[in-house]
Structure 1
Amino acid sequence: MKPVAILFFFLSLSSSVFAAKEVKELQIGVKYKPESCEIKARKGDTVRVHYRGKLTDGTVFDSSFERGDPISFELGTGQVIKGWDQGLLGTCVGEKRKLKIPAKLGYGEQGSPPTIPGGATLIFETELVEILGRNSKAEDEEL
């Protein structure tokens, strides 16, 4: 094989490997689920979540784990990025998920300078710490 052809082959191969890190749709990976799940997070719940946010190159841009201070927000109401509103629905207290969030469900083409570039796929390791304001399984069954 000619050197130019070999170079072209490896360049095309490497670009497809890097492109594979960028996702087009939300990907949800359950890393740990408690044996007992009495209440699942649903739209309108105020939840407390620990998280570690990374770019596809592994750069950590934010982490509540290191601060020891989980974030609180109302799920499904636009207080956080869409990837979180969608990716945390149905989560049990104590459950750990890995969310791969495409730019369209994250910070879009504009990004969040200086830490998150435009068009970035985001990877979040999350743990649902608490669902606030709910105390019975019956509320889940009303839906």
Structure 2
Amino acid sequence: MRLVCLFLVVIFLSSTHAEQTNEEMKVEVLYKPRVCLKKSQLNNMLKVQFKVFFENGTLFHSSYDTDVLMDVPLGLGDPSGELEKGFIDMCIGEKRLLTVPHHGQGDRELPLQNGNVLPPNIPLLYEVELIDLEDKINVKEGFENIDSDGDDHITLDEIMEQLKAVQEAGGDTALSPEILLQVYNNLIAAADKDSDGRISREEYRHLLPHELKDEL
């Protein structure tokens, strides 16, 4: 399972701040095909192209430049509870504008790979286009892709190897290694029940919604 660019990192950074703010993500439909044969729903894996803008309209990052699709799983229960809503009931080919208030980080700066920072309390706008979707999230394949040595545990080294894709896709605008490490630490805090510094297959299963647990 690919982890691509800072949009997915927001999932792991936003849980605490989301509980402290009344601001909600805004969703605007920019384009919708006249014929919609299939709509996105929970437990789909979406293939998405996206652009990220600052509130003043300045383009921050575009996946169209690298032609790298972002995988967006619906139904895994992101902590903010908001991000998934922006992708529900999308038609293939549909475009939406998602305005994420405060970008999840609240009053913290987010350092970037190039030495710059994302300022605190700044909304970011995501223009997203649904390119394709798979009917079911393959959580087994996702776990086993990260577990490169096949020992049924996800380690820091294995996750950081996957997160290299985040930096490669984002280039100079990728989040710094320190923030990516925080993503791992947040995931460990949520999943590592025996406190051994690794995520076992069973611990990973406990993170999944009930209807996906048996898939792993």
Fold shared by both chains (TM-score > 0.5): yes
Unpaired runs of at least 5, structure 1: 1-22, 135-143
- Cα 1:78–1:116, aligned 2, differ >3 Å: closer, same or farther? farther
> What TM-score results when the alignment is normalised by the length of structure 1?
0.65
- Hey, what does 2:54 align to over in structure 1? 55
Of structures 1 and 2, the larger Rg is shown by 1
After TM superposition, list the pairs within 5 Å mapping 1:3-82 onto structure 2.
24-77=23-76
- Cα 1:59–1:65, aligned 2, differ >3 Å: closer, same or farther? same
- Give distance in 2, aligned partners of 1:91 and 1:49: 11
**1:73–1:80 CA contact under 8 A, matched in 2:** no
Q: Mean Cα displacement is larger for which, 83-92 or 42-51? A: 83-92
Which AA in structure 1 matches 2:118? I
Q: Select the structure with the greater relative contact order (CA < 8 A; seq sep ≥ 6).
A: 1
Structure 1 residue 112 corresponds to structure 2 residue 110: yes
Q: How far does the alpha carbon of each residue in 1:49-78 deviate from its partner, in whole angstroms, 9 at most, with x for none?
A: 100011112232221111111111312425
Normalized per residue, the structure richer in strand is 1
Structure 1 residue 127 corresponds to structure 2 residue 126: no
**1:76–1:86 CA contact under 8 A, matched in 2:** no
Q: How far does the alpha carbon of each residue in 1:16-57 deviate from its partner, in whole angstroms, 9 at most, with x for none?
A: xxxxxxx93221111110111122111221000100011112
**1:95–1:128 CA contact under 8 A, matched in 2:** yes
- Give distance in 2, aligned partners of 1:76 and 1:119: 27
**1:55–1:123 CA contact under 8 A, matched in 2:** yes
- Give distance in 1, aligned partners of 2:61 and 2:52: 5
**2:30–2:95 CA contact under 8 A, matched in 1:** yes
Alignment RMSD (CA, Å): 2.5
Shift of 1:126: 0.7
Which AA in structure 2 matches 1:132? E
Normalized per residue, the structure richer in helix is 2
- Give distance in 2, aligned partners of 1:70 and 1:57: 25
Unpaired runs of at least 5, structure 2: 1-21, 137-216
Identity rate, percent: 27
